[in-house]
Structure 1
Amino acid sequence: MTLAGARERRVRTGGIELCVAELGAPERPTVVLVHGYPDSKEVWSEVAARLADRFHVVLYDVRGHGRSTAPRPLRGGFTLEKLTDDFLAVVDAVSPDRPVHVVGHDWGSVQSWEFVTVRRTEGRVASFTSLSGPSLDHFGHWIAGRLRRPTPRRAAQLLGQGARSWYVYLLHTPVLPELAWRGPLGKRWPALLERFEKVPGGDHPAPSLPTDAAHGAWLYRDNVRARLRRPRQDPYAHVPVQLITPLGDAFLSPQLYDELERWAPRLTRRTLPAGHWTPRTRPDQLTAWVTEFVTAVEGGRSEVTTGGRHADRFGGQLVVVTGAGDGVGRATALAFAEAGARVMAVDRDAESAARTAELARLMGASAAWAETVDVSDERAMEKLAERTAAAHGVVDVLVNTAGVGLSGSFLDTTAEDWRRLLDVNLFGVIHSCRLFGGQMAERGQGGHIVNIAATASHRPTRASRALPAYITSKTAVLTLSECLRAELADRGIGVSAVCHGPDRSANWAPEKVAQAVVEAVTDNKGVVRRRWPKRVRNR
């Protein structure tokens, strides 16, 4: 992995040299990306390349990692105080006249919490985005609070985080971590990341991994025990903070951040259904959130908020809705827009799709656009999936609402009627699930698919006599959804079927269906069923 087009410089500080890379125009706001353990700055390459279109992006190898030199002796050379010295030296070199926006992952986040809570950095940092790395001071207070006021829930939280932190204990042992990283662990690490974290292969991590990891063990030894036992009493963030919490992080419990508002009053929370190495697995999502947050702070706002109740879950996520030109499709697109998602409105009617995208932007979507496609056209759907992935990344949530209705008895329905209806209602769903779902599976970081079925799909009613073709198509969609749910569960992809009655029925107005869709994704529900209104069931 390389930082294509990066400008490199060496910054001297505290007897070492730091390797610093820059992308983008220096006159733009500066975003500093700080890597974690056992990575080097190249872990940020995908995010850095995307941010460089809008910002002056700076990355550096933490002391003892990548192409930066290591302190001698190693013991005592990796304290948070010395890491802060390094950060200030880099900032003074790359942005002497303006504060910078910091984004930290893993140990990059741990040390960045120090940068934004000590007095000597005030005025040099404009904002901080934290990924998978708590402040050791906050962590220490979190532990102390649970020990002082124990409850069954708090005890479970302590035990749970203690189990997730197994590697910390190992890294404190003498010599063994160094031998492991320079031996079998270092050789197998890329394969382990790809298997368990779904990190794409290639030339990640850096060739310096064994040495980086051996040196980086001192990050833990020099800091963890001391800070957890005696945390600072005033570790308050003096800048706006954006916290991004991967819900699938194998090393850090989301509950670790329950009381963070105490220490970071200007806090924006985000959650992401992903694993620990989000800079490599979800660069598009991180880029969108960092861009939005930095732009807001540069514009004088300290938080990024939307009116939707699910903004922390879907803000910035890519949501594709087929049949979004009106009815349930439009209502669904707007529901995700209100939660701050990036919304792609797909419909065969260009004017209706464009209107939905316009409304989505007004409702709070972080981005919204329209695509004109007939979902029954397999080749057109293939081109749409390819175009979407190339321009916007892999879809996070796919909602298939596109469909056509057909009334009339079975004997009055022609073969051509059947073909036309099944092409849209069934094969449109098949094309969409196969193409976008395949991209989700290949990415390896999960996702969700929602297919719209009908209430009568699982419980035929008297009304079914007038809708045999429609009900048959929707029953097939329900069965397909249940099969897909079973098949894709191991890949972390949820599949839901939302069964509803006529769009204008009393119980199932489009807005209510849309809310059911959002909740189906949030709660990973398999099938959402509602009865038709009594006057419809008994017709």
Structure 2
Amino acid sequence: MNRGLAGARERRVRTGGIELCVAELGDAAQPTVVLVHGYPDSKEVWEEVALRLQDRFHVVLYDVRGCGRSTAPQPLRGGFTLEKLTDDFLAVADAVSPDAPVHLVGHDWGSVQGWEFATVARTEGRIASFTSVSGPSLDHFGHWLNRRISRPTPRRAAQLLGQGARSWYVYALHTPRLPEAAWRGPLGARWPRILERLERLPADGYPTASLPSDAAHGAWLYRDNVRSRLRRPRPDAYAHVPVQLIVPTGDRYLSQHLYDDLEQWAPQLVRHTLEGQHWVPRTRPDQLAAWIAEFITSQESRADGAGAPAARTPAAKGPYAERFGGRLVLVTGAAGGIGRATAFAFAEAGARVVAVDRDAEGASRTAELARLIGAPAAWGECADVADEQAMEKLAAKVAAEYGVVDVLVNNAGIGLSGTFMDTSAEDWRRVLDVNLWGVIHGCRTFGRQMAERGQGGHIVNTASAAAFQPSRALAAYSTSKAAVLMLSECLRAELAGQGIGVSAICPGIVNTGITTAARFTGVSEEEQQRRRARTAKLYGLRNYPPEKVADAVLQAVLHDRAVVPVTPEAHGLRFLSRFTPRVRRALARIEPKL
């Protein structure tokens, strides 16, 4: 027997000769969100998401017919059609929210059902919004197939073959009796270990003990619906509610191309991509719950505004909005330069931003501007990255008040120019404390939180083109940045198995304010001022904007790149370091004239 959801109120809903087990969490006076599970799951697949939503919403979960504590139709054949599943949904919605439409969320076959509910006429007025996760409409899928078969191109043929390979299990489930025997036998016993190994599902008691019978009954979802709908897809399968689409990037069963041109079927569509595989309700509940809550809140605000146009949730734009909207991003050294530009780039993509800097006023200003640019929320925090205790306090505060960081950008750094012999021990300590230990503190505190959460993430460490090229005039600075580069490579190897990417960004000569605060060792204060002014002028003439570095940061996270040279000189120096070490060493001997 399945375990119950902790703290849930259970009821039974009778419909069409079966009895559905319905669980409720949260205040029934709040907007109702109905979570529908997929195959071969039960309602407990939503447990982690439901617990995160219960403080703000009336959360309803139910075992679909034939699964968990719900009864199965008799006979099984013909008992799982989308029409009968729609009857079940309406019966649940009428029982839990008789006077108001519900917000629908579906995963896998729960999403396949959800598309049916959101597009048929008889559910109009009963659904306020629909969030689809890893499950296409069978009607849309049918039209997708027909377009590629009737008007083939090399690209369309590749998409067709790719999805055909991913759908191997659909063919197997249409065979008589064999799937039932497998699920009630060895496959059912081994399925939890398969999910743990292939999908990185935490070993936390899910799937439940009813899995073998759930999966055996659920085979009829495919037999009763797939072939008939794909052969004769409905021409009127238009969503009559706002739709939020969440697409896991690593879904081994569904191609992202299945959702091409989805806007024609769902005019009010919001898209997100999510790092993860198929079972994101178990592996990424934090992000999933955040997007669901934001989308529902947006629709509720629209309803309260008596028809006022709804703002997109999150308020994002640009090429990265689909991937970073709603993510929590922390950037150090964010009061100016590359750090501020990076915070703004994530804000424009709809991310929530924590701007960190020793300059409290500068960090707050960055957060204020980030909100104006498009961040749904942004905060300024004051901390010295070189101070281990300060970083630990910051990490604890951020986790408690804003959540676990999804993307960490260790950007804070200082400049130091001078030969080894002219660089004092105190100068060495200061540059290593900020440029290296600041990165170490960030990776240790925030990276540990990412790892403990178990839902992946990404760390970006700002190194430098100086990490590739030794110089007689940059002994301490180049050493600190080379150490950051190697740290990033080591950390990338260590965290790869936990779904956490690590990238080292290596800019070059970028027009920022770092030159005005840089130290030049072995010279008088007057000479330092002259060299700062001269260096700032040269950087200004080069005029490479920090916004291009920020774009490289987002690209690094998007494509999980290990080492990212940014400026042309950074690319050139990396090439020299890899293929012409003698030339690199010769360049290192040149004394710069300032």
- Is this a same-fold pair by TM over 0.5? yes
Amino acid at match of 1:334: F
Which residue in the other structure is 2:565 paired with?
528
Q: What residue number does 1:426 align with?
A: 436
The one-letter code of the counterpart of 1:481 is S
Alignment partner of 1:514 out of 529, 545, 550: 550
CA displacement, residues 402-437 of structure 1 (integer Å, 9 cap, x when unaligned):
122223332221112212221221122123224433
Higher mean C-alpha displacement, 143-152 vs 524-533: 524-533
Deviation at 1:56, TM superposition (A): 1.4
Question: How far does residue 107 in structure 1 lie from its aligned partner after superposition?
Answer: 0.3
Superposed, 1:476-515 pairs within 5 Å as 476-489=483-496, 491-500=498-507, 501-504=509-512, 505=539, 506-515=542-551
Over 3 Å counting, the alpha-carbon distance change for 1:25 and 1:486 in structure 2 is closer
Q: Does 2:346 correspond to 1:344?
A: no
- CA drift at 1:261: 1.3
Residue by residue over 1:2-33, the C-alpha shift from the partner in whole angstroms, topping out at 9 and shown as x without a partner, is 53322211111111111111122222211111
CA shift digits 1:503-529 (9 cap, x unpaired) = 433343332321221122223332223
Which residue of the other structure, out of 41, 44, 47, is the alignment partner of 2:46?
Answer: 44
Distance in 1, matches of 2:455 and 2:52, equals 20
Change (3 A) 1:82 1:528: same
- Which secondary structure state, in structure 2, belongs to the residue aligned with residue 93 of structure 1? helix
Q: Distance in 1 between matches of 2:240 and 2:143?
A: 18
Structure 2 contact 173–219 (Cα < 8 Å) conserved: yes
Distance change >3 Å, CA 200–CA 490, structure 1 → 2: closer
Alpha-carbon distance between aligned partners in 2 of 1:386 and 1:170, rounded to the nearest angstrom: 49
Matched to 2:565, the amino acid is: V
Alignment of 1:304-453 (within 5 A): 304=313, 305-389=315-399, 392-441=402-451, 443=453, 445-453=455-463
Structure 2 counterpart SS, 1:412 = coil
Shift of the 85–380 alpha-carbon distance from structure 1 to 2, 3 Å rule, reads same
Q: How many residues align?
A: 535
Q: Structure 1's 201 and 386: CA in aligned 2 closer, same or farther, altered over 3 A?
A: farther
Aligned-pair CA distance for 1:127: 0.9
Deviation at 1:491, TM superposition (A): 4.6
Do the aligned residues in 2 keep the contact of 1:2 with 1:45 (CA within 8 Å)? no
Aligned counterpart for 2:274 among listed residues 247, 268, 272: 272
1:187–1:367 CA distance, 2 compared to 1 (3 A): farther
Report SS of the residue matched to 1:116.
helix
Q: Secondary structure at the match of 1:31?
A: strand
* Moved beyond 6 Å, runs of 4+: none
Write out aligned runs for 1:33-72 (5 A).
33-72=35-74
Instruction: Indicate the larger mover: 1-10 or 85-94.
Output: 1-10
Most deviating of 412-421 and 101-110: 412-421
- Cα gap change, 1:177/1:314 in structure 2, threshold over 3 Å: closer, same or farther? same
TM-score (norm 1): 0.93
Of residues 205, 222, 229, the one that matches 1:227 is 229
Q: Could you tell me which residue of structure 2 aligns to residue 204 of structure 1? A: 206
1:136 maps to which of 128, 135, 138: 138
Amino acid at match of 1:171: L
Structure 2 unaligned blocks of 5 or more: 303-308, 513-538, 573-590
How far 1:350 sits from its partner (Å)? 3.4
Please tell me whether the aligned partners of residues 507 and 532 of structure 1 are also in contact (alpha carbons under 8 angstroms): no
> Does the CA contact (< 8 Å) of 1:343 and 1:360 recur in 2?
yes
**1:295-348: CA deviation from partner (whole Å, max 9, x where unpaired):** 222222454352332100100112121222332212211211111112222333
- Greater gyration radius: 2
Tell me, in whole angstroms, the C-alpha distance in 2 between the residues paired with 1:354 and 1:382. Answer: 20
Instruction: Name whichever of 313-322 and 2-11 sits farther off.
Output: 2-11
CA distance in 1: counterparts of 2:12 and 2:411, whole angstroms: 55
In structure 2, how many angstroms separate the alpha carbons of the residues matched to 1:145 and 1:212? 34
Q: Which amino acid aligns with 2:550?
A: A
8 Å Cα contact 2:343-2:370 kept in structure 1: yes
Aligned partner of residue 193 in structure 2, secondary structure:
helix
Q: Is the 8 A contact 2:549 2:566 kept in 1?
A: no
* AA at the equivalent of 1:528: P
Q: Distance in 1 between matches of 2:372 and 2:431?
A: 34
CA contact (8 A) 1:281 1:443 kept: no
Letter in 1 for 2:485: L
Q: Deviations over 1:97-140 (max 9, x none)?
A: 11111110000000010001111011111111100000111111
Aligned to 2:306: none
Kindly provide the amino acid, as one letter, of the partner of residue 553 in structure 2: V
Partner of 2:301: 299
Q: Identity of counterpart residues, as a percentage?
A: 72
Preserved CA contact (<8 Å) 2:239 2:265: yes
* More off after superposition, 124-133 vs 424-433: 424-433
Equivalent residue runs for 1:5-44 within 5 Å: 5-44=7-46
Q: Any residues of structure 2 matched to 1:81-160 within 5 Å, and which? A: 81-160=83-162
Shift of 1:212: 1.0
Query: Structure 1 residues 42 and 118 mapped into 2: Cα distance closer, same or farther (>3 Å)?
Result: same
Give yes or no for contact 2:252–2:278 (8 Å, CA) kept in 1: yes
The counterpart of 2:479, out of the listed 451, 468, 472, is: 472
